[in-house]
Structure 1
């Protein structure tokens, strides 16, 4: 774990669809807001746009551990079976606003001709802004990390099977 890494959380779920039918970027960048909200009670809103350089972006709003997060996920790898998004996310806490870096990685691998294993991996890192924010409040980073990890891990664990079910529905829709 790097010095400023907060969490590295990964969970898997089964998708009952052949890998040829799965397109994670297409799912992510066309995900209806209600579908996103249905994947976690902490999910508030979702949309998609493009970054200044033209790369695709997914905008997600959610709460984790009582903090509102606005994530600006920019596509850094976009393959049908593997999507990596990076975000300098805004975090709104009772003590004020700061930022956090989040890398969201979604992938599938075939189990057999009709099923895949979906992996939802989330890594978060304190930005320099966040480290200064914590220092101004006298909060040691190790204490913050220890308190944040269980909430982030629980969130990822809860949304993973629901994301898998959503990707499965998208894969099985008539083309």
Structure 2
């Protein structure tokens, strides 16, 4: 599902005080205990792990962003120790009903020196055809929804990024 319309494209970075050789973002993501996921944002409700029908790893995240409950079904697209890309058609529960959006979640690290890395957390949200129909039925123009959604999504990403970095750091330092 390729869609050029974008609600939000936000990217934030934070420092990880661990050597890049010890970092394994997929191992962190697919092994993250629920309580640690919850500690990375007050908006995080639950996390779990399963597989997609084709056997690909999947992370299930439940959170509230901008007042809407979201159930995200993140399917692994690229999996390398320093780079993970996940794609979800996420269920969104709003006061006006249920719909879906597409979320591209990209986590990466770059080496700064022998002891530190820069972690980047990028989230790109796009409407699905279901979503376009959902807002059309309510008479909400896409640009209006986008303007209303961006602040909450950007704030969420900005606040969870340093906490994810700290969690990845702890994971890297307690393994190996």
- The bucket for the TM-score relative to the shorter chain is over 0.9
Q: What is the root-mean-square deviation in Å for CA atoms of aligned residues? A: 0.8
Report what 1:161 is aligned to.
162
Report what 1:147 is aligned to.
148
**In 2 relative to 1, CA 128–174 (structure 1 residues): closer, same or farther, beyond 3 Å?**
closer
Q: 1:35, 1:100 → 2: CA distance?
A: 25
Query: Offset of 1:3 from its aligned partner?
Result: 4.8
Report what 2:69 is aligned to.
68
Q: 1:82, 1:174 → 2: CA distance?
A: 18
Deviations 1:63-115 (A, max 9, x none): 00000000000000000000000000000000000000000000000000000
Report what 2:33 is aligned to.
32
Report what 1:121 is aligned to.
122
5+ long unaligned stretches in structure 1:
none
Query: Offset of 1:165 from its aligned partner?
Result: 0.1
TM-score normalised to structure 1 length: 0.98
1:4-153 equivalence runs, <5 A: 4-153=5-154
Q: 1:10, 1:141 → 2: CA distance?
A: 22
TM-score normalised to structure 2 length: 0.98
Query: Offset of 1:4 from its aligned partner?
Result: 1.9
Deviations 1:119-157 (A, max 9, x none): 000000000100000000000010000000010000000
Query: Residue 155 of structure 1 aligns to a residue in which SS?
Result: helix
Q: 1:3, 1:17 → 2: CA distance?
A: 37
- Displacement over 4 Å in runs of 4+: none
Contact 2:22 2:175 in 1 (8 A): no
